Amino acid sequence: MMHGGPSGFHNAPVTRTLVISSAIITVTSALRGRSRSIGLSYQDIIQNYSLWKIVPSIFAFSSSPESIIGLYLIYYFRVFERQIGSNKYSVFVLFNLVASTFFQIVALGLIKDSQVLASGPYGFIFASFVSFYFDIPVTSRFRMFGLNLSNKSAVYFAAFQLVLSAWRRSFIPVISGLLAGFVFRANLFGICKLKFPKKLTSVFSWLFLLYPSSFPSSANIRRNAHISNIDHQVQRNNRSVGNFMPEPSESSIATLVSMGFESNAARQALLQARNDLNVATNILLEAQSR
């Protein structure tokens, strides 16, 4: 069973905002009896120009099964925010929400289907699956009920369940999300390198001052001190072997990051472990327990 690293929203304020926003708008729509009507449709967007429906259609799920599975997937994908940082992840989220919504509107104009599309951040979720497929490595494989599975299978199964929850209504949002994810991965106009200015992100940071995770805890301070000790020990080891130390592979770093460890800490642990992934994992787990 694959997990997104340590529980909670530590080092994932953008994910926290997205989860909370989606949950609040979903509950509000349900209480007002509009859950099944907030999705995009040809009549509302193309014919009647009811553009106000775009915002709730992006965030609010239309049923309980969709919201449970969808929010879990958003929460799981916080692993990417921990990997690339909140500034860049903000761009990733915004681009995929906007691009997938644009593709849905274009599809409605071309197909002219009267059916209301599934609402909720389907586009963002399935855009994230593009990065999940290419950037999160398979670390273990096993057989169950005659099927060849991996540590990533549970996440794919959750996506399949999400599609089944809305079925035909979800086809266009899912395809739009996948297309947005591939466009982002193609790095058109250098989108992958963009990040929000510090002045803008500071506004969002202020919103999280009431959350304890916004402040460095004593456990984090001890962990950072231990990581610093790892760095010093690596430097001593480098000097003792004539400054020759092979650089950790990106796949090994990505594997540790997918487990919830910070990129720099993963790199230093791999250096100390001489690129032995199991030893590096033990070093990081030991650092967390202190």
| CATH code of the domain covering residue 127 | 1.20.1540.10
**What is the pLDDT of the chain when averaged over all its residues?**
82
Asked if 105 and 248 sit in the same domain, the reply is no
3-state helix, strand, coil in the chain (%, to 5): 70, 5, 25
Asked if 113 and 86 sit in the same domain, the reply is yes
Name all contacts of 91-98 with Cβ < 8 Å and 24+ positions apart. 91/191, 91/194, 91/195, 91/196, 92/184, 93/14, 93/18, 93/124, 95/180, 95/184, 95/191, 96/123, 96/124, 96/127, 96/128, 96/177, 96/180, 96/181, 96/184, 97/58, 97/121, 97/123, 97/124
Beta strands in the chain (DSSP E): 141-144, 147-150
Report whether pLDDT(117) > 90. yes
Question: Residue 54's pLDDT is what?
Answer: 94
Asked if 143 and 233 sit in the same domain, the reply is no
In a domain, 4, yes or no: no
Asked if 199 and 105 sit in the same domain, the reply is yes
In a domain, 37, yes or no: yes
Asked if 49 and 184 sit in the same domain, the reply is yes
Q: What SS3 state is found at 290? A: coil
How much is the pTM?
A: 0.74
Residue 179 CA to its chain's centroid (Å): 17
Asked if 234 and 257 sit in the same domain, the reply is yes
Among 207, 233, 249, give the residue marking a domain's end. Answer: 207
Asked if 20 and 148 sit in the same domain, the reply is yes
Among 207, 228, 254, give the residue marking a domain's end. Answer: 207
Asked if 182 and 235 sit in the same domain, the reply is no
Report whether pLDDT(191) > 50. yes
Asked if 200 and 231 sit in the same domain, the reply is no
Asked if 26 and 91 sit in the same domain, the reply is yes
Asked if 70 and 166 sit in the same domain, the reply is yes
- Domain total for the chain? 2
Question: Residue 249's pLDDT is what?
Answer: 82
Pick the most confident of 48-57, 203-212, 279-288: 48-57
In a domain, 1, yes or no: no
Domain span at 188: 13-207
Among 207, 228, 250, give the residue marking a domain's end. Answer: 207
CA atoms within 13 A on the CB side of 66: 24
Asked if 74 and 109 sit in the same domain, the reply is yes
What distance in Å separates the CA atoms of residue 164 and residue 48, rounded to the nearest whole number?
30
In a domain, 149, yes or no: yes
Please, what's the b/e burial string for 105-116 (b: 16 or more CB within 10 A of its CB; e: otherwise)?
bebbeeeeeeeb
In a domain, 8, yes or no: no
Taking only the tens place, the pLDDT of each residue in 149-172 is: 998 999 999 999 999 999 999 999
In a domain, 212, yes or no: no
Taking only the tens place, the pLDDT of each residue in 213-259 is: 433 444 444 555 555 555 555 555 555 444 455 678 888 888 888 77
